[in-house]
A and B are shown apart, each in its own frame.
Chain A
Amino acid sequence: MLQINNLVVQIEDKRILNGLDLTVNDGEMAAIMGPNGSGKSTLSYVIAGKEDYEVLDGEILLDGQNLLEMDPDARAAAGVFLAFQYPLEIPGVATMTFLKAALNAQRRARGEAELTTPDFIKRVNNAAGQLEMPKDMLKRALNVGFSGGEKKRMEILQMALLEPNFCVLDETDSGLDIDALRIVSAGVNALRAKNRSFLVITHYQRLLSHIVPDTVHVMAGGKIVRSGGKELAHELEANGYADYRQPTAAE
């Protein structure tokens, strides 16, 4: 599924990722944990294709395709989805308009027929129901006036609709109260499938007791410094990141 080899990334002459290697297999739920400034969010942005970062070396292969050569929209059409840590508000763009534009753009890029409006609405309503989202949220401009928790739910709704095969969740747990965390986690778990992989970025073990990972990776100083099973998350929760802190340019 996803293979990252020797990824070296900087922003404004500051080195953030230092030769990162990571493999996520088909159907795998991988978690990345690590202290602030270890480069976790940078990794998510570089996978999705944000322009601000300069990739100095390495490759990111999704089913053999090098994502680094593709624009963000092409990556999305190829199956990448990033659930943003801070989803953006888009005043003046109706949520339904946006969702339909995204879904149909991806279908066009893949050579599939566009959805009819009734079919589209049915899919949105199904996904919204699962995530216990009030209908009026869908009638507003995208994310405008949404609470932090509502924005995160909207990210998961988009993920459910777009049916990506590689999902990156960047601190999806931040800003969620316990009920919202349960709903969002259930939404993610419902999407687990043998041809869909996840990379869940988080500071805390809390999320991982709802979304149980297959593998846990510790990131520090811009690379993966330790990998293990789900028990590694418990160990980190107990001991903290002290063992992994090291002075880096990112901090």
Chain B
Amino acid sequence: MGAVTLMRTPAETALAQAFEAAKGKLPGDRDARVKAFNDFIEVGLPHRRVEAFKYTDLRAAFREAAPFAPRPTPEQARTAAAGAKGFGETGALVVTLVDGHVVTEGSELADLPEGVEITTITEAHGVGHTLLDHLSPVPLARENPVYQLNSAFMTDGVVIRIAATIAVERPIHLRFVTTGAFATATRTLVVVEEAASVILLESHEGPDGAAAQLNDVVEFVVGDRAKVCHVRLNAEGSEAVALSTVTARLGEAVSFDSLNVVWGAALSRHQVYLAFAGERSLARINGATMVKGRQHADSTLVVDHGALHCTSRELFKTVIDGEGTGVFQGKIIVQPHAQKTDGRMMSASLLLSEGGTMNNKPELEIFADDVQCAHGATSGQLDEDLLFYIMARGIPKAEAESLLVQAFLGEAIEGVECEAARDALIAGVESWLKAR
């Protein structure tokens, strides 16, 4: 490994130093952290010659490593929580994380509804909580360098348990707020037991101009017949580099929806690793991404069909303006025993300018013979004939374009079960369009 060490970039060197300094203080299983970091540093920050990062070069994006943020003071936490927009008024049960630390200010951690347990990952590590056995439920993700970095550094995060048969009425909203050019590594674990149901909202926001380096992982372990609706919003500041991973392991007859909406960050990469471990489950993974200027947004997903009769639907919509870049990489794996799999994956992009770029890489790896799998990718511009039709009814061009873009993205957003969150997302799309 000597030669590799010599070739470390300044950011990698800084990360190695930061890890050395922090590893004794970070909570939890130190050996697991050391292993994750060694796995990461052995290869280093992935660059464009690494196939999975061909379109998103993290070595180039990380010129330096930002320092991890100290725990905010109560005053700082209060100010940050008060300024957060999130999804507006949703009536959700809110947990706020400021610069990667769970804060009590702006969080509802006491008097939780029946069957809902929420603790911080730091506390859970402290008491050796048995729920932590569920961490890292999808082995495939452990090979991913972004995930490895998170496993090495995870400073804080939330552990949520929804007890069997409990249908949580209020959505649970994890509100991530960044206040400056800090690094964060948060880990959230959501264990939804048999026949329980929950809506989990996540919003991520930070100040424009601050080169924050964010790495958050949310892991779902979903019991038989449970139902999960997950909505994530990336409204990070203009200079942020935002890396995120969702892993999910689904039991039998589960319904799992996950939507990621992106309009923030200079560079973002959202990864989904989903594993079907029980029969007859349904997963819908959607994305709605808007980039402009020189923004870069990557959606990468791996759907692993490891059980009979499961259905997966992926729909990713990307709108690109200015010199923005969109990336979609989707892989459906069907294991030899996963007969009757029904998998469909679609990426559609709309280029509003001459200078935009969209990269699509769909892949199917099918080892079973009785399956239905399909993928498709389209890229195009707004339809001139449609624009004319709308304008001929008196609607000005900008408004006509907005109607068409909203309709395009709407297909990925309309399934969101929390009406308030859906309305907030639609309003966000409208403001994005007005500002472009």
Contacts and interface: CB of A to CB of B under 8 A. Distances in A.
B49 interface: no
Number of chain A interface residues as a range: 20 to 34
A169 B49 CA distance: 59
B361 to A, nearest CB: 26
Interface stretch (A19-27, A55-63, A81-89, A176-184): A81-89
A91 B408 CA distance: 8
Interface stretch (A46-54, A118-126, A207-215): A46-54
Nearest to A84: B389
A105 B408 contact: no
Contacts of B410: 92
A158 B389 CA distance: 12
Contacts of A71: 391, 396-397
B131 interface: no
B393 A162 contact: yes
A16 interface: no
A102 B385 contact: no
Contacts of A91: 407, 411
Nearest to B408: A92
B384 A51 contact: yes
Interface string A77-101: 1000110100110111100011001
Contacts of B406: 92-93
Contacts of B391: 49, 71-73, 76
Contact of B393 (A50, A51, A52, A158): A158
Nearest to B400: A73
Interface in B372-413: 384-386, 388-397, 399-400, 403-404, 406-408, 410-411
Contacts of B403: 90, 93, 97-98, 101
Interface string B400-436: 1001101110110000000000000000000000000
B433 to A, nearest CB: 14
A109 B395 CA distance: 9
A106 interface: yes
A102 B395 CA distance: 5
Contacts of B395: 73, 101-102, 105
Contacts of A77: 394
Contacts of A72: 388, 391-392
B193 to A, nearest CB: 37
A120 to B, nearest CB: 15
A162 B394 contact: yes
Which of B391, B394, B397, B406 has its CB near the most chain A CB atoms (within 10 A)? B394
Which of A51, A76, A81, A106 has its CB near the most chain B CB atoms (within 10 A)? A76
Nearest to B391: A72
Given A73-B395, A73-B396, A73-B397, 19 more contacts: A49-B391, A49-B392, A51-B384, A71-B397, A72-B391, A76-B392, A76-B394, A77-B394, A90-B390, A90-B407, A92-B408, A101-B395, A101-B399, A103-B394, A105-B396, A105-B399, A109-B394, A158-B393, A162-B394
16 contacts: A48-B388, A49-B392, A72-B388, A73-B396, A73-B397, A81-B392, A82-B392, A87-B389, A93-B404, A97-B403, A98-B390, A98-B403, A101-B403, A102-B395, A162-B393, A162-B394
